[in-house]
Structure 1
Amino acid sequence: MARLGRTGLGYAGLAKAVSRYCGRPSTFLLACGVIVIWIITGPLFGFSDTWQLVINTGTTIVTFLMVFLIQNTQNRDTQAIQLKLDELIRATTGAHNALLDLEELDERALESFRRRYEALARTARDLRLAGGIDTDSPEA
């Protein structure tokens, strides 16, 4: 049986490993150390244009690469959260299975669901203000 969650050595596995490494406090301290060394070397290089270009180029390259890494991590995390929410909806008695995979709908369909749930929220708030309870399932 295939193992679930196996990332291998492809882009996903590399992105996950780099993301874990970059999120460590030691990596942050390393980056701070590089900045401190760069600042200290300023007088040695007469605060030249080349000295400034080194840090500007380095930070630009790191930032450019980190954008893709962060996006990959966010996409993976969002997908996992959506799947967990879908499972909670699926497993909850009385929940609307039409809400499964909601993030894949177009704007018009999403707006329709949003209006429906806003109306349910208004009704529940009005009921609560009138002394009622708002914990039932109105469609049941």
Structure 2
Amino acid sequence: MDETFTKIASKCARIMGQPQTFIIAILLVIIWGASGPLLKYSDTWQLIVNTATTVLTFLAVFLIQNSQNRDGAAMQAKLDEILRSLDKARAEFVGIEHLTDAQIEAIRHALEKDIRDAGGRDGLAVPTVERLLQRY
């Protein structure tokens, strides 16, 4: 079932992310809007678009979350492989995405302090990023 859901979710996410799908959605909204005067802006007329958008939004949330979960897991696996393959990398960093936000923040602060202490730099990318942005 997991494999089937992944295939369906991936295909739906791919379709929903296409410009043609966006254009079709806009056209449907225009058709719905144009039908308003014909249907005298009735409660049924309003209910059609409200129901359709609610259902589609509800389903899209699950598709988006599934895609983000897979992308995040794939990215973590790739980063873990890089850490595993580098001689000077700390293997203890593999799997830190499972820690709490507070634990990860503490690790980040410790790394920044370590960089400041070791290299005399401030440990942040701000000066470098500012220089880059000034060039463009």
TM range (shorter): 0.7 to 0.9
Report Cα offsets for 1:6-37 as digits up to 9, x if no partner.
x85x1111101111111111111111111010
Alignment of 1:24-43 (within 5 A): 24-43=18-37
Find 1:81's aligned residue among 75, 94, 115.
75
Aligned-pair identity (%):
42
Return closer, same or farther for 1:43/1:107 CA change in 2, 3 Å cut-off. Answer: closer
C-alpha displacement of 1:110:
2.8
C-alpha displacement of 1:92:
1.5
| In 1: Cα distance, 2:14 partner to 2:107 partner | 37
Find 1:60's aligned residue among 40, 54, 65.
54
| In 2: Cα distance, 1:106 partner to 1:36 partner | 46
Return closer, same or farther for 1:124/1:29 CA change in 2, 3 Å cut-off. Answer: farther
| In 2: Cα distance, 1:46 partner to 1:108 partner | 56
One-letter code of the match for 2:98? Answer: E
Find 2:88's aligned residue among 94, 105, 112.
94
| In 1: Cα distance, 2:106 partner to 2:29 partner | 51
| In 2: Cα distance, 1:128 partner to 1:59 partner | 51
C-alpha displacement of 1:59:
0.1
Q: Which residue of 2 aligns with 1:71?
A: 65
| In 2: Cα distance, 1:17 partner to 1:30 partner | 17
- Structure 1 unaligned segments of length 5 or more: list them: 1-6, 130-140
TM-score when scaled to structure 1? 0.78
Alignment size in residue pairs: 121
| In 1: Cα distance, 2:118 partner to 2:54 partner | 51
